[in-house]
Amino acid sequence: MADVEELNKPLFAGLSDVSIADDIPVEGQITVPVNSSSANDEISTLDEPVKDTILRDLKAVGQKFVHVLYPKKSSALLRDWDLWGPLLLCVSLALMLQGGSVDSKDDGGPQFAEVFVIVWFGSIIITVNSKLLGGTISFFQSLCVLGYCILPLTAAMLVCRLVLLSSSGITSFIVRLVVVSASFGWSTFASTAFLADSQPPNRKALAIYPVFLFYFVIGWMILTFSPS
């Protein structure tokens, strides 16, 4: 009988004796506080002025140029990769190579396209070769490094154009040969400084050889250029 009476007892019988005074308001707060953004949080680029965005990107490109001019084992160029710098260098190099003396009179345009094909297609081939050999960097990181390391060769092209404006004899050729050779060595050394550690130790030579050939072809185009 005691068990039956216990089962028949209301479940919340004790709550009926609880009373709330009239002067006590029944209300609550169910909102979840949102943490206020700190001063160190990055500003969203959606709210950033266009001028600030452009200046910030140009500053980042300039910093990568410094990394190429003073190459050292640093992951900054690999971590903050972009393709704006390589595109700028490729366009500048193609514009300076355009208008050379060739067999046909209308070959200025194909020379511009030729530089684009060599730079981008060559970079893609080197990157694919690096990945097949077991490289650890990403596809776009490799394109970024190879493109930025064209900077010495682009500067050499500018120097060669200035030298050709003054003279075109044997002295001019020797000066251009020295400048192009130095820039070729600098580009190769800078690119290998960033890419060598991403390759297996027993396959570094196989990964560096295409880089050597890539910059050699660009250097040869610069050395053999003669204004029309």
Q: Note the pLDDT of residue 122.
A: 93
The span from the CA of 47 to the CA of 43, in Å, is 7
Does any domain span residue 1?
A: no
Q: Does any domain span residue 16?
A: no
User: Percent of the chain, pLDDT > 90?
Assistant: 29
pLDDT band of 188, cuts 50, 70, 90:
very high
* pTM of the entire predicted model: 0.72
Residue (of 191, 185, 228, 198) closest to 71 by Cα position:
191
Query: Which range of residues forms the domain containing residue 186?
Result: 76-223
Q: Given this model, what pLDDT does residue 181 score?
A: 96
Residue 32 lies in a domain: no
**130: in domain:** yes
For residue 8, being part of any structural domain is answered with no
Query: Does residue 43 form part of some domain?
Result: no
Q: Tell whether 40 is covered by a domain.
A: no
**Among residues 113, 194, 193, 119, which one has the least CA distance to residue 154?**
119
Which among 53, 90, 95, 86 is positioned nearest to 68, based on CA atoms?
Answer: 86
Question: What total of structural domains would you count in the chain?
Answer: 1
pLDDT of amino acid 38:
45
pLDDT at res. 183: 96
